[in-house]
Each structure stands twice: as C-alpha cells, then as structure tokens.
Amino acid sequence: MNEPEQNIVLYGHGTTQRLVAVETGDKEAVLFVRASDGAVIIERRPFIPWILCDRERHFEGASTTQLAGSGHPYLIEFEGGWSSSLEAKRSLRADHANLVTYTNPVRHFLSRSGETLFKGMAFDDLVRMQVDIETTSLDPHAPGAAIFLIAISDNRGFAEALVGDEGTILRDLISIITTRDPDVLEGHNIYGFDLPYILARCEANRLKPAFGRDGRSAYTGRPRNCALGANTRPFSPVHIYGRHILDTYLQVQRFDIAKGQLSSYGLKECAQAYHLASPDRIILDRSEISETYRTDRNRVLAYARQDVEETAALASLVAPTEFYQAQIVPDTYQDTAVCGTGEKINSILVRHYLRCGEAIPRPSASSAFPGGFTEIRRTGIIRPVVKADVESLYPSLMLTQEIKPESDRLGIFLPLLRELTNRRLTAKRSLKSSPPHSREEAYWDGLQNSFKTLINSFYGYIGGPFYFNDNAAARRITEAGQDVVKSIADELTRRGASVIEIDTDGVYFQPPDNVRSLAEEEAFVEEVGSVLPVGIRLAHDGSYAAMISLKIKNYVLLHHDGRHVFKGSSLRSRADEKFGRSFLTGAVAHLLLGDEAAAAALYAAMADKIVQGQMPIEDLAKRERVTHKMLASGLRKRAADALRGSTHTEGDFVSLYQRKDGTLGLADSYDSDEDRAYYLERLYKFALRLKDALPEERFHQLFTLNAVAPSGQTTLDLFG
C-alpha cells in the first residue's frame, strides 16, 4: 500500500478534524466538533444503518447490494433509519441468518462514514472534567442518604467544591457541566458509585439530570463487561449525550495488566504507587468523612479537592492510550476505553472492507493450538537477575514469516501491522528526543503506547473468534515463538548464564560472573540475540538486585533502587487479611536483603501479638462488599448470620472476623473474642507462601507452628 492508502486503512477515510463526539437519532447523526478556539460546532448528517448478511434479503425502505467475495456478501442499508434496521435484524435472526452488524449505532455511523474521533488533536486538547462526591451513606436510597459535597475540576484551570443543600448542589453541578461544556467526565469508580448516586439523588430531588450537551438526561445503560487482558469486569455504563465518561478505576486496571505493579486499585493507593499524590495528602476513613465534615469542614474540603486532582493526574497517565486509539478505531472514546483490543482490530478491518465493497468472511471454526512456552527452572532467592525480552515476538514473527489470515482477500492485515509497527518506532524515536515532562513527550508516549497495544493484539485476533481469524496461522505463530524462546534459553545457558524462568517471549536469568554492570548486561543480551532470525530482536528488559522465584509467573523482583515488584497471586491478594499482607511485605523485604533472622523475628512478633490479643481487629478482619449471593447463598451462611440484625444492606462494605466459636462477627462489634488459634494458623499459611524461596529445613527453622496451640476444632477459611 502507498502512504495515502495506509492512512485510510489506519485512520479511516473520513476527513473531519477535531471531532469530539457523535450521537445518532433514527435517521440523523449529530457531530460535535471542538474548534481550535474552544467553541463546539454542531454538524448534522444522514445516518444510514447497515447489516451484512450471508443471504440475499430485501426490506421495505432498504437497499441490498451484493459485495465481492463470500461469507457475508449482502450489504443491506436502511434509509428508513435505526428502527427499521432493528426490525430487520430481528427478522434475520429469526431466520437463523449469519450477520455482521453492531448494537451501537454510533459505531455503525463511524464504520460506514470512515470518520474517527479526535483527528488533529492531542490528549490535552480534550476538555476533561473530574467529579468526586462525598455522601452520608453508600446507599443513595437509604434513610438519610444525601450528597453533602461535590468536588469538581477540569484541565482548563477550573476547580470548585459545591456544598450546602443537596438540591442546590446538584443544580450547580448541572449548571457547571453545561457552562464548562467538557468533552469527558472523569472519576475514580464513577460508573460504580458517583454517577449512579448522582442520578438517584437527582430523582429523589425531582431534578432532571440534564448533563447532556443538548440538555438531555443522563441514563444508565445495560450492564456490560470491561476487557482487562484475558479477564473482564462487569459494570453498568452511564450515557451522557454528546460527552464521554472515563472511569479511572477501570482504566488503571487495564494499564496495570502488563506491569502488575498494583496490589490495590483504590485512588489513594494508585496515586501513591505512581507518585501522583501530593506530600500533604489528607487521608480520611470513608466511614468517618460525614462526621469529620461536621467538625472540620475545611479538612474534608481539602481532601475532596485532592481526590479530583489525583483523578486528573491518574487519567493523564492511564487514558492517553485509549484516546489515541480512538483516532484509529471507529468507536466512541467511552467504548474504546472498555472494549477488547481484538474487537478494535476487527472493526478496523470491517470498516475498510465495507469501503472497498468487499464481503466480510465468516470466522473459521475454532480448534486447539499450542500456547506460549513457559517453564520455571529455578526457585529460591537469586541475585542478581536480568530479564531479556523479544520485542513484540508474535507480531515480529507474523511480519518476518508473512503469516496472515487466509481470508484476508484485500491483503491489508500484514500491511496494517507493518504500518503500526513503523509508526510506533517513529513515535519512540520522537519520544526519546522530546524534552522531559513536556507536552511533546506526553504526546509521543501516549501515541506509541496506543500503537503498541494494537500491535500486540494482532496475534490474539488471528487466534480468536473474529471474522478474519485463522487457527492454522495462529498455530504456526505459537510454534515459531516456542522455537525462538527455547533457542534464547539454550544460548543463555551456553554462554554461562543460569535460566530462572521462561515465559512466552521473555527469559529471567542470572548472568555469568563476568557480567555485572548495566552496560555489560546489555552487551551480553545483544550477543545472545545475535543468533536469532533476522527481524526478531532480543532486548534487555530489566536489571534487578535480586528475585524471589516461587513458581511460574509468581515472583518478587528487587530493583537496584530498593523498589519491590510483586508478580502473581501466590504472594499477595487483595482478598488477604491486612496482617497477612503486612507480614508478607515485610518478610519479602528482609529475605531479599539476605536478613533471614529479621524475617523470622517479624513472624514471631506477629504470632505473639495474635496470642496476646494485641493484633488490631482491622488487621485481622476481611473487608467485603455485601452482595445478594452473600445474603442468600447457603455457602455464605456464616457471613449472612453475622449481618443479621445489622443495618448493612446490599452494596455496603463490611469487615468480618472469625470468633472463638467459629462464627463470624462484624469488626465494628468486636469484643476481644477473635479465634486466635485460627489466626495463628492463617499466619503460618501466609508464611507457607514463601516455602519455595528457602531450603525446606531452613524454612521450618524460621517459621514454625510449634507455638500454635491446637484449637481442638476444624478451622475454616474465613469465608469458606
């Protein structure tokens, strides 16, 4: 493809610049364009929904065109509008027809028109507003529930804290959003808490939640899933006409998938982990905020303002990737931020095939094929450690060996991948030459990350349930990848390194004794990489003072500056009790520094606190959200029994602990009646997670159950 054609495939054939939102009616699309002077200009265009079908069908008020190729060759376009397309879709489904279509009308319009959002814009060109609320109750329908404070800020210098009567606060919020006219509303757990609460309180105050650009009401959509790597998280989206919503609680989880740095996704924890928190950050217990507001209003106001400041800073870190992808993918920014990368590649290909008058193929039947090669060769505490990683292994193999889907008749799959790769390399070069902490640096970093995310999804796409999938091609890729990573491990061993863990496209290893400095490590990795095929590049991806290797994909790394990185769930889980997380964090730190005695002393001290009843109940208890399942399921009977008679309802968070008699109790009703034998056993189980880090005899010398008196009864996991 020549350069103009590459741009069309990648960014679509639409030419509208600075398009910040699209909304559709039945027969009309409304485009919101933010001019360079900040004004928002509205354009209106015809909206003609479409369906691709595997059989010829004709509908009143629609035209049917036969496209080239097989699979879904019949393009039905509905001049009658969205309602006509929905009726036709129901009819086609009833006839068991195979269709290519979208449930989102905006994606229909963008795919057919070739337009994408944000062309010609940088991330900070968006008007972004942050919102955070403080309430008297977690349940907006509970007696006495109210919003008593709303903190607002935007990236144009506006900051305000709304206080007073709830109805007045909500009216002021509507007025500010209307006047400031943000393109995006940002909040941490804004889908899960702030917006649902605001909508409920608007209803209670008989206020129309007119947050839309034309004064339309915000509303809650159908529950859906946010893609988080190989996992998903359910949420209920809120829709505001002409605006987007970005939930940093979800975005930071997507951002952390590859890094695995975070053990908690709370706003304060994220701000601390990413060095976004101010030195004078105020920390308040959520359960005490309402009372603190009555006694120290200024402290709570400052706390709320810091919440929106941190939300803005966190969004600036985790959202640019999705913003720049929205310049490529025919979808809204709000949906781009939650859908999977495979679906994004799918929509790019569908858009171009539609433009070229080509039928979309039917997906090939799924079949098993091997995954990436993983192996652990050493456990224990190892120092020093280096990681070597093949840069974009699967995409590189696809390009060098020209592996593509057989159904790609237009031959755009590999050129698209190659173009994204080239553009990422250009962006990375510009990033390196940009002034540190500058707008220019932020632009190039966001752009190269958006390219990287899409590039790395091409393999998942080719092996997934998508229109242009090809399981035979996916098998060739994974088998070639296994050969590459095994050859790296063999070459490392041949050159005197000790391989610790192999994982798909990277290898952790202990370098030979004559390799110690960073420059020597990089040169060593480059020498190892010289045996790889042309186009496959091995890179130095990390240098560490030490590593605790436990099992495949579960380890702790000690950076040379003292930072720890936990990987995998075998050591830390957000579901663990606070005392267990505290023990593991401290014990790991001591072991990585070679101080086994300090780790043993920490264990003994915590065991003694449990025996003496000196461990704070908030450290022993587990915090859990009250769910319908907890209240109704027989498997959660102990938890349900503990809540009986309390004021806690579905959606609340509660802290539960195990009593001496084996029942559960609420931490706020604690009466020095914890099951100490149970918690001693829990402490020992936490220590057992470190067993593979030490020789077995040494482990039992450091951490023993001897001090634990038999409880005389069967103990259960807290929520077992």
For 187, 371, 494, 693, 700, the CA distances from 696, given in Å and listed in that order, are 48, 33, 30, 9, 6
Closest CA relative to residue 173, chosen from 141, 218, 221: 218
Query: What residues contact 482, with CB distance under 8 A and at least 6 apart?
Result: 370, 372, 373
Backbone φ and ψ for 291, nearest 5 degrees, come out as: -70, -40
Tokens representing 115 are: 């337009």
In angstroms, what CA-CA distances link 510 with 7, 8, 489?
A: 44, 47, 12
Token duo for residue 37: 């002077």
DSSP state for residue 329 in the 8-state scheme: S
User: Which residues contact residue 590 at a Cβ distance below 8 angstroms, ignoring those fewer than 6 apart?
Assistant: 596, 598, 599, 602
305 close to 161: Cβ distance less than 8 angstroms: yes
681: tokens are 């056993």
Average pLDDT in the 251-274 region? 84
Q: How confident is the model at residue 259 (pLDDT cuts 50, 70, 90)?
A: low
pLDDT in tens, 287-320: 788 889 989 999 999 999 999 999 999 999 999 9
Structure confidence by residue, pLDDT tens digits, 666-694: 998 999 999 999 999 999 999 999 999 99
Note whether 548 and 576 are within 8 A (CB).
no
Signed CA dihedral, 600, 601, 607, 610: sign only: negative
Pairwise CA distance, residues 237 & 240, whole Å: 10
Examine the pLDDT at 481 and tell me if it is beyond 50: yes
Question: Strand runs (DSSP E) across 333-480, as ranges?
Answer: 374-376, 380-382, 385-390
Reported as a pLDDT band with limits 50, 70 and 90, residue 713 is very low
Average pLDDT over residues 205-213: 97
CA–CA gap between residue 669 and residue 622 (Å, rounded): 14
Task: Say if residues 635 and 662 touch (Cβ distance below 8 Å).
Answer: no
The Cα 307–Cα 132 span in angstroms is: 7
pLDDT at 715: 40
User: 361 near 70, Cβ under 8 Å?
Assistant: yes
Contact partners, residue 245, CB within 8 Å, separation at least 6: 184, 185, 186, 187, 190, 191, 195, 237, 238, 239, 334
Please tell me the predicted confidence (pLDDT) of residue 652: 75
Residue 510: its H or E element:
strand 506-510
Dist CA 180 CA 150 (whole Å): 16
The C-alpha atoms of residue 503 and residue 356 are separated, in whole angstroms, by: 41
- Cβ atoms of 691 and 581 closer than 8 Å: no
Cβ atoms of residues 254 and 319 within 8 Å: no
Give CA–CA dist 283/274, Å, rounded.
17
Contact 564, 589 (CB under 8 A): yes
Contact 132, 187 (CB under 8 A): yes
Q: Determine the 3-state secondary structure of 566 from DSSP.
A: strand
Token representation of residue 205: 């105050």
- Please work out, in degrees rounded to the nearest 5, the angle formed at the alpha carbon of residue 58 by the alpha carbons of 55 and 60: 155
Contact present, 163 and 149 (Cβ < 8 Å): yes
**And the tokens for 224?**
């859906």
3-state DSSP helix/strand/coil percent for the chain, to nearest 5?
Answer: 40, 20, 40
pLDDT digits (tens, 9 = 90+) for 362-406: 998 877 778 889 999 999 999 999 999 998 899 999 999 999 999
List helix spans (H) across 217-340: 248-255, 267-273, 289-295, 297-318, 320-326, 333-336
pLDDT confidence tier of residue 568, bands split at 50, 70 and 90: confident
CATH of 123-324, one of 3.30.420.10, 3.30.70.20, 3.90.1150.10, 2.30.30.30: 3.30.420.10
- In DSSP terms, 657 is beta-bridged to 665
Domain-wise residue ranges, the chain: 3-120, 123-324, 594-702
d(CA 680, CA 615): 11
511 has a pLDDT exceeding 60? yes
Please check the confidence at residue 709 and state whether its pLDDT lies above 60. Answer: no
Closest CA to 104 of 335, 323, 324: 335
Which is higher by pLDDT, 648 or 266?
A: 266
For residue 720, pLDDT over 60 is answered with: no
Question: Does 549 score more than 70 pLDDT?
Answer: yes
In the numeric block, the tokens 């398009």 are attached to 19
Is residue 455 within 8 A of residue 424, CB to CB? The reply is yes
**pLDDT-derived band at 31, boundaries 50, 70, 90:** very high
Give 581-594 pLDDT, tens digit per residue: 999 999 999 999 99
Confidence of residue 260 (pLDDT cuts 50, 70, 90): low
Quick one: 438 exposed, middle or buried, by C-beta within 10 A (0-12, 13-18, 19+)? exposed
